A and B are shown apart, each in its own frame.
Chain A
Amino acid sequence: MRKNTSYIVILTCVLLVNSTCAVAEENFIGWLLDFGRTKEVRPIDNEQYQEECKDCHFAYQPGLLPARSWEKLLNTEALRDHFGDNAEIDEDTLRIIHDYAVANAADKSYYKRSRKITVTTPEYAEPLRITKLHYIERKHDEIPDKMIKDNKDVKSLSYCDNCHTQAEKGVYDNDTVSIPNYPDWDD
Protein backbone atom coordinates (compact mmCIF):
# COMPACT_ATOMS: atom_id res chain seq x y z
CA MET A 1 0.00 0.00 0.00
CA ARG A 2 2.85 2.37 0.91
CA LYS A 3 4.55 1.54 -2.39
CA ASN A 4 1.34 2.40 -4.22
CA THR A 5 1.00 5.69 -2.39
CA SER A 6 4.51 6.74 -3.34
CA TYR A 7 3.80 5.83 -6.98
CA ILE A 8 0.68 8.00 -6.90
CA VAL A 9 2.58 10.90 -5.34
CA ILE A 10 5.36 10.65 -7.95
CA LEU A 11 2.92 10.38 -10.85
CA THR A 12 0.81 13.26 -9.55
CA CYS A 13 3.93 15.42 -9.28
CA VAL A 14 4.94 14.50 -12.84
CA LEU A 15 1.46 15.38 -14.10
CA LEU A 16 1.40 18.70 -12.29
CA VAL A 17 4.92 19.64 -13.43
CA ASN A 18 3.90 18.73 -16.96
CA SER A 19 0.86 20.97 -16.76
CA THR A 20 2.98 23.77 -15.32
CA CYS A 21 5.09 23.69 -18.48
CA ALA A 22 1.95 24.05 -20.58
CA VAL A 23 0.95 27.21 -18.73
CA ALA A 24 4.41 28.45 -17.88
CA GLU A 25 3.62 32.04 -18.82
CA GLU A 26 1.13 32.54 -16.00
CA ASN A 27 1.00 31.97 -12.27
CA PHE A 28 0.40 28.21 -11.99
CA ILE A 29 -1.52 28.35 -8.71
CA GLY A 30 -3.70 31.14 -10.10
CA TRP A 31 -4.47 29.04 -13.15
CA LEU A 32 -5.12 25.91 -11.08
CA LEU A 33 -7.59 27.65 -8.78
CA ASP A 34 -9.36 29.54 -11.54
CA PHE A 35 -12.56 27.66 -12.32
CA GLY A 36 -13.65 30.09 -15.02
CA ARG A 37 -13.45 28.82 -18.57
CA THR A 38 -10.15 29.58 -20.26
CA LYS A 39 -10.60 27.47 -23.35
CA GLU A 40 -10.66 30.23 -25.92
CA VAL A 41 -9.07 33.69 -26.09
CA ARG A 42 -9.29 36.23 -23.25
CA PRO A 43 -12.09 38.67 -24.13
CA ILE A 44 -11.17 42.37 -24.32
CA ASP A 45 -11.73 44.12 -21.00
CA ASN A 46 -10.19 47.49 -21.87
CA GLU A 47 -12.76 49.94 -23.16
CA GLN A 48 -10.24 52.24 -24.81
CA TYR A 49 -8.61 49.39 -26.72
CA GLN A 50 -12.03 48.15 -27.80
CA GLU A 51 -13.23 51.56 -28.97
CA GLU A 52 -10.06 52.62 -30.79
CA CYS A 53 -9.77 49.38 -32.75
CA LYS A 54 -13.48 49.06 -33.41
CA ASP A 55 -13.58 52.48 -35.04
CA CYS A 56 -12.06 50.89 -38.15
CA HIS A 57 -12.27 47.12 -37.84
CA PHE A 58 -13.18 44.21 -35.58
CA ALA A 59 -11.32 44.59 -32.30
CA TYR A 60 -9.00 41.59 -32.35
CA GLN A 61 -8.19 40.19 -28.91
CA PRO A 62 -4.52 40.69 -27.90
CA GLY A 63 -4.32 36.92 -27.29
CA LEU A 64 -4.40 36.34 -31.03
CA LEU A 65 -0.81 37.52 -31.59
CA PRO A 66 2.43 37.20 -29.61
CA ALA A 67 3.78 40.24 -27.75
CA ARG A 68 6.63 40.74 -30.26
CA SER A 69 4.03 41.19 -33.03
CA TRP A 70 2.08 43.80 -31.06
CA GLU A 71 5.38 45.62 -30.39
CA LYS A 72 5.92 45.89 -34.14
CA LEU A 73 2.33 46.84 -34.91
CA LEU A 74 1.61 49.37 -32.20
CA ASN A 75 4.08 52.21 -32.56
CA THR A 76 3.67 55.62 -34.18
CA GLU A 77 5.67 54.76 -37.26
CA ALA A 78 3.90 51.44 -37.89
CA LEU A 79 0.47 53.00 -37.42
CA ARG A 80 1.21 55.54 -40.17
CA ASP A 81 1.01 52.58 -42.54
CA HIS A 82 -1.34 50.18 -40.80
CA PHE A 83 -2.00 47.66 -43.59
CA GLY A 84 -2.26 50.47 -46.14
CA ASP A 85 -4.14 52.96 -43.96
CA ASN A 86 -3.02 55.77 -41.72
CA ALA A 87 -4.18 54.79 -38.24
CA GLU A 88 -2.17 57.30 -36.21
CA ILE A 89 -3.49 58.06 -32.73
CA ASP A 90 -2.26 60.33 -29.94
CA GLU A 91 0.68 59.22 -27.81
CA ASP A 92 -1.30 58.63 -24.59
CA THR A 93 -3.91 56.45 -26.25
CA LEU A 94 -1.24 54.55 -28.14
CA ARG A 95 0.61 53.85 -24.90
CA ILE A 96 -2.55 52.48 -23.24
CA ILE A 97 -3.40 50.28 -26.25
CA HIS A 98 0.18 49.11 -26.65
CA ASP A 99 0.58 48.21 -22.99
CA TYR A 100 -2.74 46.38 -22.90
CA ALA A 101 -1.99 44.40 -26.07
CA VAL A 102 1.50 43.41 -24.94
CA ALA A 103 0.37 42.44 -21.42
CA ASN A 104 -2.39 40.18 -22.77
CA ALA A 105 -0.57 38.83 -25.83
CA ALA A 106 -0.79 35.16 -26.81
CA ASP A 107 2.56 34.24 -25.27
CA LYS A 108 1.54 35.79 -21.94
CA SER A 109 -1.90 34.25 -21.75
CA TYR A 110 -2.97 30.91 -20.31
CA TYR A 111 -6.12 30.79 -22.43
CA LYS A 112 -6.00 27.61 -24.50
CA ARG A 113 -6.29 29.06 -27.99
CA SER A 114 -3.62 31.66 -27.20
CA ARG A 115 -1.35 28.87 -25.94
CA LYS A 116 -1.90 26.99 -29.17
CA ILE A 117 -0.99 30.09 -31.16
CA THR A 118 2.21 30.43 -29.09
CA VAL A 119 3.16 26.76 -29.51
CA THR A 120 2.68 26.86 -33.29
CA THR A 121 4.47 30.18 -33.91
CA PRO A 122 8.26 29.88 -34.21
CA GLU A 123 10.14 32.07 -31.72
CA TYR A 124 12.00 33.92 -34.46
CA ALA A 125 8.78 34.81 -36.31
CA GLU A 126 7.05 38.18 -35.85
CA PRO A 127 3.76 37.67 -37.66
CA LEU A 128 1.86 40.90 -38.28
CA ARG A 129 -1.30 39.38 -39.68
CA ILE A 130 -3.44 37.06 -37.57
CA THR A 131 -4.60 35.35 -40.74
CA LYS A 132 -0.99 34.43 -41.53
CA LEU A 133 -0.41 32.60 -38.26
CA HIS A 134 0.35 28.95 -38.88
CA TYR A 135 -2.38 27.91 -36.42
CA ILE A 136 -5.06 30.09 -38.02
CA GLU A 137 -4.07 29.03 -41.56
CA ARG A 138 -4.20 25.37 -40.53
CA LYS A 139 -7.61 25.72 -38.89
CA HIS A 140 -9.07 27.27 -42.05
CA ASP A 141 -7.20 25.42 -44.79
CA GLU A 142 -10.05 23.02 -45.56
CA ILE A 143 -12.65 25.75 -46.02
CA PRO A 144 -13.10 26.40 -49.75
CA ASP A 145 -12.74 29.88 -51.25
CA LYS A 146 -16.41 29.98 -52.19
CA MET A 147 -17.27 30.17 -48.48
CA ILE A 148 -14.77 32.91 -47.63
CA LYS A 149 -13.10 34.88 -50.42
CA ASP A 150 -15.89 34.48 -52.95
CA ASN A 151 -18.63 34.83 -50.37
CA LYS A 152 -20.02 38.37 -50.59
CA ASP A 153 -20.94 38.35 -46.88
CA VAL A 154 -17.52 37.19 -45.67
CA LYS A 155 -14.88 38.37 -48.21
CA SER A 156 -11.82 37.53 -46.13
CA LEU A 157 -10.58 35.59 -43.11
CA SER A 158 -9.84 38.99 -41.55
CA TYR A 159 -13.54 39.53 -40.85
CA CYS A 160 -13.57 36.96 -38.03
CA ASP A 161 -16.95 38.08 -36.72
CA ASN A 162 -18.71 37.45 -40.03
CA CYS A 163 -18.61 33.70 -39.31
CA HIS A 164 -17.55 33.36 -35.65
CA THR A 165 -20.78 34.56 -34.05
CA GLN A 166 -19.19 34.94 -30.61
CA ALA A 167 -15.86 36.37 -31.75
CA GLU A 168 -16.43 39.51 -29.68
CA LYS A 169 -16.45 37.34 -26.56
CA GLY A 170 -13.23 35.65 -27.69
CA VAL A 171 -15.02 32.41 -28.59
CA TYR A 172 -13.84 30.84 -31.85
CA ASP A 173 -14.95 27.21 -31.56
CA ASN A 174 -16.69 25.25 -34.32
CA ASP A 175 -20.03 25.15 -32.52
CA THR A 176 -20.45 28.92 -32.79
CA VAL A 177 -19.51 29.19 -36.48
CA SER A 178 -22.21 30.23 -38.93
CA ILE A 179 -20.94 30.97 -42.43
CA PRO A 180 -23.28 33.36 -44.26
CA ASN A 181 -25.03 31.72 -47.21
CA TYR A 182 -23.68 28.30 -46.16
CA PRO A 183 -25.80 27.06 -43.24
CA ASP A 184 -24.51 23.50 -43.66
CA TRP A 185 -20.86 24.50 -44.04
CA ASP A 186 -19.50 21.58 -42.01
CA ASP A 187 -21.27 18.81 -43.90
Chain B
Amino acid sequence: MRLKFRFNNIAAILCLAAFSASAYAGEATLNLEFPSPAYTASSFSSNLQPFMLTLNEATTTGALSTSRKAEFEPPFFTGSNLHKYLGLGTVALAIATAVAPKPPEIEDRLPTPAEVSAQDSSTHAKLGRATAAMAAATVTSGLISHWDDFYLEDGIFDPDNLHALLGAAGSLAIMYAVSKAPGEGHAGKGIFGGIAMGVAVKLTW
Protein backbone atom coordinates (compact mmCIF):
# COMPACT_ATOMS: atom_id res chain seq x y z
CA MET B 1 0.00 0.00 0.00
CA ARG B 2 2.78 2.37 1.02
CA LEU B 3 4.70 1.49 -2.12
CA LYS B 4 1.65 2.30 -4.19
CA PHE B 5 1.34 5.69 -2.50
CA ARG B 6 5.02 6.41 -3.09
CA PHE B 7 4.58 5.54 -6.75
CA ASN B 8 1.57 7.86 -6.89
CA ASN B 9 3.60 10.67 -5.32
CA ILE B 10 6.47 10.25 -7.77
CA ALA B 11 4.03 10.11 -10.70
CA ALA B 12 2.29 13.28 -9.48
CA ILE B 13 5.63 15.13 -9.11
CA LEU B 14 6.73 14.08 -12.60
CA CYS B 15 3.39 15.14 -14.10
CA LEU B 16 3.55 18.55 -12.44
CA ALA B 17 7.20 19.01 -13.47
CA ALA B 18 6.32 18.13 -17.06
CA PHE B 19 3.37 20.50 -16.81
CA SER B 20 5.70 23.35 -15.74
CA ALA B 21 8.00 22.64 -18.66
CA SER B 22 5.03 22.87 -21.01
CA ALA B 23 4.72 26.53 -20.09
CA TYR B 24 7.61 27.13 -22.44
CA ALA B 25 6.14 25.04 -25.19
CA GLY B 26 3.03 27.21 -25.05
CA GLU B 27 4.94 30.42 -25.63
CA ALA B 28 6.18 29.61 -29.10
CA THR B 29 3.33 29.64 -31.57
CA LEU B 30 3.73 28.14 -34.99
CA ASN B 31 2.09 30.20 -37.72
CA LEU B 32 1.12 27.88 -40.55
CA GLU B 33 -1.18 30.35 -42.31
CA PHE B 34 -0.51 31.56 -45.84
CA PRO B 35 0.07 35.29 -46.04
CA SER B 36 -3.32 36.84 -46.74
CA PRO B 37 -3.73 39.97 -48.93
CA ALA B 38 -4.41 42.03 -45.79
CA TYR B 39 -1.26 40.69 -44.13
CA THR B 40 0.85 41.52 -47.17
CA ALA B 41 -0.61 45.00 -47.39
CA SER B 42 0.01 45.78 -43.73
CA SER B 43 3.57 44.53 -43.84
CA PHE B 44 4.13 46.62 -46.97
CA SER B 45 2.76 49.76 -45.35
CA SER B 46 4.87 49.25 -42.22
CA ASN B 47 7.93 48.97 -44.45
CA LEU B 48 7.02 52.32 -45.96
CA GLN B 49 7.96 54.22 -42.79
CA PRO B 50 11.65 54.78 -43.65
CA PHE B 51 10.69 56.28 -47.01
CA MET B 52 8.46 58.95 -45.55
CA LEU B 53 11.21 61.51 -45.55
CA THR B 54 9.26 64.46 -44.27
CA LEU B 55 7.89 62.65 -41.26
CA ASN B 56 9.41 63.63 -37.94
CA GLU B 57 11.27 60.55 -36.72
CA ALA B 58 10.60 61.12 -33.05
CA THR B 59 6.87 61.51 -33.59
CA THR B 60 6.77 58.35 -35.69
CA THR B 61 8.50 56.29 -33.02
CA GLY B 62 6.25 57.67 -30.31
CA ALA B 63 3.07 57.03 -32.26
CA LEU B 64 4.15 53.54 -33.24
CA SER B 65 5.17 52.80 -29.69
CA THR B 66 1.82 53.91 -28.26
CA SER B 67 -0.25 51.90 -30.72
CA ARG B 68 1.98 48.85 -30.30
CA LYS B 69 1.70 49.05 -26.52
CA ALA B 70 -2.07 49.28 -26.76
CA GLU B 71 -2.13 46.16 -28.96
CA PHE B 72 0.22 44.13 -26.79
CA GLU B 73 -1.33 41.83 -24.24
CA PRO B 74 0.98 39.95 -21.90
CA PRO B 75 0.56 36.18 -22.36
CA PHE B 76 -1.36 34.51 -19.55
CA PHE B 77 0.32 31.11 -19.71
CA THR B 78 3.98 31.77 -18.98
CA GLY B 79 6.55 29.97 -16.86
CA SER B 80 6.55 32.89 -14.45
CA ASN B 81 2.77 32.82 -13.99
CA LEU B 82 2.75 29.06 -13.58
CA HIS B 83 5.42 29.31 -10.88
CA LYS B 84 3.39 31.99 -9.11
CA TYR B 85 0.16 29.97 -9.03
CA LEU B 86 1.95 26.76 -8.03
CA GLY B 87 3.60 28.61 -5.14
CA LEU B 88 0.32 30.11 -3.95
CA GLY B 89 -1.30 26.70 -4.32
CA THR B 90 1.42 25.10 -2.20
CA VAL B 91 0.91 27.59 0.62
CA ALA B 92 -2.87 27.13 0.43
CA LEU B 93 -2.51 23.34 0.51
CA ALA B 94 -0.06 23.54 3.42
CA ILE B 95 -2.60 25.56 5.41
CA ALA B 96 -5.38 23.11 4.46
CA THR B 97 -3.18 20.19 5.57
CA ALA B 98 -2.50 21.85 8.92
CA VAL B 99 -6.17 22.46 9.66
CA ALA B 100 -7.55 19.21 8.19
CA PRO B 101 -8.78 16.62 10.74
CA LYS B 102 -5.96 14.27 11.67
CA PRO B 103 -6.35 10.51 12.24
CA PRO B 104 -6.04 9.40 15.89
CA GLU B 105 -2.43 8.87 17.03
CA ILE B 106 -1.37 5.36 18.06
CA GLU B 107 1.51 5.59 20.53
CA ASP B 108 1.70 2.50 22.75
CA ARG B 109 1.42 -0.29 20.16
CA LEU B 110 1.93 -1.08 16.49
CA PRO B 111 -1.03 -0.01 14.33
CA THR B 112 -3.14 -2.67 12.72
CA PRO B 113 -3.29 -2.80 8.88
CA ALA B 114 -6.78 -1.28 9.01
CA GLU B 115 -5.48 1.64 11.11
CA VAL B 116 -2.55 2.17 8.73
CA SER B 117 -4.96 2.21 5.82
CA ALA B 118 -7.21 4.70 7.65
CA GLN B 119 -4.21 6.95 8.34
CA ASP B 120 -3.03 6.81 4.72
CA SER B 121 -6.44 7.63 3.33
CA SER B 122 -7.23 10.46 5.76
CA THR B 123 -7.83 13.96 4.36
CA HIS B 124 -4.77 15.21 6.26
CA ALA B 125 -2.51 12.60 4.62
CA LYS B 126 -3.91 13.22 1.13
CA LEU B 127 -3.50 16.97 1.45
CA GLY B 128 0.03 16.50 2.81
CA ARG B 129 1.05 14.43 -0.21
CA ALA B 130 -0.58 16.95 -2.58
CA THR B 131 1.34 19.76 -0.83
CA ALA B 132 4.64 17.90 -1.25
CA ALA B 133 3.97 17.25 -4.94
CA MET B 134 2.98 20.86 -5.57
CA ALA B 135 6.01 22.14 -3.63
CA ALA B 136 8.30 20.05 -5.85
CA ALA B 137 6.56 21.36 -8.97
CA THR B 138 6.88 24.93 -7.69
CA VAL B 139 10.63 24.57 -7.17
CA THR B 140 11.04 22.92 -10.58
CA SER B 141 9.06 25.60 -12.40
CA GLY B 142 10.96 28.33 -10.51
CA LEU B 143 14.30 26.87 -11.56
CA ILE B 144 13.15 26.68 -15.17
CA SER B 145 11.53 30.09 -15.50
CA HIS B 146 13.75 32.17 -13.17
CA TRP B 147 17.15 30.53 -13.58
CA ASP B 148 18.67 33.86 -14.66
CA ASP B 149 17.52 35.72 -11.54
CA PHE B 150 19.93 34.01 -9.14
CA TYR B 151 23.41 35.36 -8.64
CA LEU B 152 25.37 34.07 -5.68
CA GLU B 153 27.56 37.18 -5.82
CA ASP B 154 24.53 39.26 -4.75
CA GLY B 155 24.51 37.55 -1.38
CA ILE B 156 21.88 36.07 0.87
CA PHE B 157 19.85 39.28 1.24
CA ASP B 158 19.12 39.55 -2.45
CA PRO B 159 15.33 38.99 -2.53
CA ASP B 160 15.51 36.39 -5.31
CA ASN B 161 18.33 34.46 -3.65
CA LEU B 162 16.50 34.43 -0.33
CA HIS B 163 13.28 33.45 -2.09
CA ALA B 164 15.01 30.51 -3.80
CA LEU B 165 16.71 29.39 -0.60
CA LEU B 166 13.55 29.53 1.52
CA GLY B 167 11.43 27.97 -1.23
CA ALA B 168 13.81 25.06 -1.69
CA ALA B 169 14.27 24.56 2.07
CA GLY B 170 10.51 24.74 2.66
CA SER B 171 9.83 22.31 -0.14
CA LEU B 172 12.40 19.83 1.21
CA ALA B 173 10.99 20.17 4.73
CA ILE B 174 7.47 19.44 3.48
CA MET B 175 8.64 16.40 1.53
CA TYR B 176 10.64 15.16 4.52
CA ALA B 177 7.59 15.62 6.78
CA VAL B 178 5.43 13.61 4.39
CA SER B 179 8.03 10.84 4.21
CA LYS B 180 8.17 10.68 8.03
CA ALA B 181 4.39 10.76 8.53
CA PRO B 182 2.59 9.53 10.55
CA GLY B 183 5.60 9.29 12.83
CA GLU B 184 6.13 11.68 15.71
CA GLY B 185 7.79 14.98 14.81
CA HIS B 186 6.61 15.22 11.22
CA ALA B 187 4.25 18.07 12.14
CA GLY B 188 7.10 20.40 13.12
CA LYS B 189 8.93 19.85 9.84
CA GLY B 190 5.72 20.32 7.88
CA ILE B 191 4.86 23.58 9.68
CA PHE B 192 8.39 24.87 9.16
CA GLY B 193 8.14 24.00 5.45
CA GLY B 194 4.81 25.80 5.12
CA ILE B 195 6.10 28.93 6.88
CA ALA B 196 9.30 28.95 4.79
CA MET B 197 7.26 28.68 1.58
CA GLY B 198 4.93 31.46 2.79
CA VAL B 199 7.82 33.81 3.61
CA ALA B 200 9.43 32.97 0.25
CA VAL B 201 6.22 33.96 -1.56
CA LYS B 202 5.90 37.18 0.43
CA LEU B 203 9.50 38.20 -0.30
CA THR B 204 8.89 38.36 -4.04
CA TRP B 205 5.16 39.11 -4.10
Residues of A at under 8 Å CB distance from B?
A: 1, 4-5, 7-8, 11-12, 15-16, 18-19, 21-22, 32, 35, 37-39, 112, 115-116, 119-120, 138, 152-153, 155, 161-162, 165-166, 173-176, 178, 180, 184, 186-187
Contact = CB atoms under 8 A, between A and B. Distances in A.
B2 interface: no
Given A32-B202, A120-B154, A174-B80, A15 B196 contact: yes
Contact of A175 (B61, B81, B196, B203): B81
Contacts of B187: 4
A57 B72 CA distance: 22
B66 to A, nearest CB: 9
B25 to A, nearest CB: 12
B104 interface: no
A187 B28 contact: yes
B192 interface: yes
Given A119-B155, A161-B65, 5 more contacts: A116-B159, A120-B158, A155-B61, A165-B74, A184-B28
Contacts of B185: 4
Interface in B69-97: 69, 72, 74-75, 78, 80-81
Where chain A touches its partner, the secondary structure class is: helix
Given A15-B166, A120-B154, A180-B64, A22 B72 contact: no
Given A7-B192, A15-B166, A184-B28, A162 B159 contact: no
Residues of B contacting A: mostly: helix
Given A11-B195, A37-B205, A116 B65 contact: no
Contact of A19 (B69, B74, B192, B203): B203
Contact of A162 (B65, B158, B188): B65
B203 A153 contact: no
B144 interface: no
Given A119-B154, A165-B74, A184-B28, A153 B202 contact: no
B26 to A, nearest CB: 12
B159 A115 contact: yes
B199 A15 contact: yes
Nearest to A110: B159
A166 B72 CA distance: 10
B157 interface: yes
A116 B64 contact: no
